[in-house]
Structure 1
Amino acid sequence: MQPLTMVLGQGLLTSSGELHRRQRRLMQPLFHHQRIFEYGETFAAIADARAARWRNGQRLDIHDEMIEMTLAMVTKTLFDVDVDADTDSDIVAVIRAAISENTVAARKALHTGFELLERLPLPSARRRRETRQALDRVVYDLIERRRREGAEGRDLLSLLLSARDADSGDGMDDSQVRDETLTIMLAGHETTANALTWTFHLLGQHPEVAEALHAELDGVLAGRRPTVADLPRLPFTDAVLSESMRLYPPVWAMSRYLVEDRVVGGYPLPAGSTLLLSQWVVHRDEKWWPEPERFDPARWLGDRVDPDRPRYAYFPFGGGPHQCIGNSFARTEGVLALATISRHWTFEPVPGLKIAPEPLVTLRPRDGLPMTIRRHG
């Protein structure tokens, strides 16, 4: 993760030690369930608006659609910026350009020598630097504006500026707010977009599961837009997303650096070792997941749930002190978007087109995900 500091600075994703612990304490209240409840209407409204642009029988790249949709969700909840509003068009243009250029950089950051190449006067490196600088100017301008207004808004940026350490009473300086803001924006929208993309891919491959999903949505929602209050009554919808993230975890592998000697699985490992933990592999362990390659959302329901399955047989959001702080935010966003879209639409695969995952920092379809959409009901 360390090369990502070039883009994200020292946000929660890339920091460690005392800095990470302090930031975690400061930011945890931002993701309290009541806060997330307040954002639910925004998630569903944006998903509804996105799907309203589609036409029956149209072929779309679903991954592009999900990227645009989750970008709209994160800019609205983070900055209170509307991607479709003329008044916010300049800000949105800067955000789009920075994400486009630096998402590529985040993937290439894993390659040996990337940091050196970024310092060379190459056109691609120069574009990335320029878009990052433009994004920084926008973010610092928004920070200054929120501070001037007293940070009284309900957007996440205002809440970041208002956060105070319970012991010292200190808040974050502008640089740290910038790092956490970019971490939420750049990391948050990509992972949720990937999760939804693979979910629609799997539903297209398994029409019997899609039929069961529509039956639940028709019975509970009767065509109306879902709310957070509906989530407990949509267990199969939630299970569809869980099973999709089992087979196609948005982050397919992660690492942990040992700061002391430890014995792991009977093997003595010295301090300084790096452990690679792969969700892709663990989520396919036959010991805990019968028929592991099968897309079977019902395995998450009722007596199909294995009570002996260990906690980390499934960890799409990581675990421990560095578990994704926005996991409840992302799950709520994902289930509401899935329910909102699926109540009116079904997705058909393009015949003969092979979809392959691209395992870089996140797991996305290598060449996008073209699908034909059909109106449901």
Structure 2
Amino acid sequence: MDRFETMSAFERMRALKHSAIGTWSQRAYEDDIIRGRFLGRGSFILNAPDAIRHVLVDNYENYTRTPVGIRVLRPILGEDGLLLAHGKSWKLQRRTLAPAFSPRAVSLLTPHMIAATDATIAELDQADGQLYDLREAMQRLALDIAGRTMFSFALEKHGAALRAFVNDYGDRLARPHFLDLLFPLSWPTPRDFSRGKFRREWTRFLSVLIAERREMGPSLDGPRDLFDLMVDARDPETGDAFADHELADQIATMILAGHETTATALF
């Protein structure tokens, strides 16, 4: 039995400050299903395809994110984005967004990705043998690609602010405090007040981006980016479009979800 199997609750909370994965034992990478308990709550790690399908496809209405996951992600992703939706709301959003991620739609975004990559290559060429922080460059590239594919414009004007929001939240507010783990979701923790302030500022920032994108007007040649695709998206059964607050949360989710892992992979 490795040391992760015998971690006390206090040791596990300390490890969570750095990485949730750091609290997993070797079994998490080898066994099909791992069951555990933490602070009186049961938890599972699923590796078996049938078990994953059972949770994510066949019985998705029975499962939600953990309270601490919602508490940590909600201020930056909102309550109405795909990542935090569950049950029928999740199914509705997935169904509505599906056309935006068809092969045709992805090919529509390729020029934006190439433009961001070319700009980064040009920036690296100008370094001319000087020391250069490649990890930071890849983080900027990942966010720039996310911004260009979403809005069809480069983020020279807003890129620094976007990175500041993301880095600030990651450094100060994204790591769970032990009270985040202990309190039910309906009870605010001290850190939630800072998250609430962040949420208000972040929402205003997203509103500026959306307003600037709307000023560009619709394209006569059809959708040109994810913004167009999501504005045009309709539920195939009801014909409903995303409301403005839902659109903002979807934009936040699409810009932020995975950009850090993508940047790390590029690095």
TM-score (norm 1): 0.45
Q: State the number of aligned residues.
A: 187
1:183-202 equivalent positions in 2, closer than 5 A: 183-197=253-267
Q: Shift of residue 14 of structure 1?
A: 1.4
Amino acid of the structure 2 residue aligned with 1:103? G
Shift of 1:183: 0.4
How far off is 1:163 after superposition? 0.3
Aligned residue among 226, 243, 252 for 1:182: 252
Partner of 1:107: 174
Unaligned runs of 5+ residues in structure 2 are 1-68, 181-187
Q: Per the alignment, do residues 93 and 131 of structure 1 end up closer, same or farther by CA in structure 2, a change over 3 Å counting? A: farther
Partner SS state of residue 85, structure 2: coil
Equivalent residue in structure 1 for 2:165, among 94, 98, 107: 98
Structure 1 vs Structure 2 CA RMSD? 2.7
The amino acid across from 2:190 in the alignment is: L
Give the match for residue 57 of structure 1. Answer: 129
Per-residue deviation, 1:44: 2.5
- Structure 1 letter corresponding to 2:151: F
The partner residue of 1:82 within 154, 168, 188 is 154
Residue 157 of structure 1 deviates from its aligned partner by 1.1
Identity of aligned residues (%): 27
The whole-number CA distance in structure 2 between the counterparts of 1:80 and 1:192 is 20
What letter corresponds to residue 189 of structure 2 in structure 1?
Answer: L
**Contact (CA 8 Å) 1:163, 1:171: kept in 2 or not?**
yes
CA contact (8 A) 2:140 2:163 kept: no
What letter is aligned with 1:113?
L
Q: Distance in 2 between matches of 1:168 and 1:129?
A: 31
Query: What SS does the corresponding residue of 1:83 show, helix, strand or coil?
Result: coil
1:66–1:193: 8 Å Cα contact kept in structure 2? yes
Aligned mates of 1:162, 1:27 — CA distance in 2: 10
Matched residues in 2 for 1:139 and 1:100: separation?
A: 18
Letter in 2 for 1:168: T
Q: Which residue in 2 is equivalent to 1:27?
A: 97
- More strand as a share of residues: 1
2:214 paired with 1:165: no
Deviation at 1:140, TM superposition (A): 4.8
The offset of 1:51, in angstroms, is: 1.9
The 8 Å contact of residues 30 and 159 in structure 1, kept in 2 or not, is answered as yes
Equivalent residue runs for 1:190-229 within 5 Å: 190-197=260-267
1:238-249 superposed matches below 5 A: none
Runs of 5+ consecutive residues of structure 1 not aligned to the other structure? 198-377
C-alpha distance in 2 between matches for 1:158 and 1:139: 14
In structure 2, the partner of 1:71 is 143
Task: Provide the C-alpha distance between the structure 2 equivalents of 1:7 and 1:193, rounded to a whole number of angstroms.
Answer: 19
Q: Which SS does the other structure have where 2:235 is aligned?
A: coil
Partner of 2:52: none
Instruction: Give yes or no for contact 1:101–1:128 (8 Å, CA) kept in 2.
Output: no
Which residue number corresponds to residue 6 of structure 2?
none
Measured against aligned partners, the alpha-carbon deviations of 1:31-75 in whole angstroms (never above 9, x if no partner) come to: 111221222232233212212222353322221010111111111
C-alpha contact 1:94 1:134 (8 A) present in aligned 2:
no
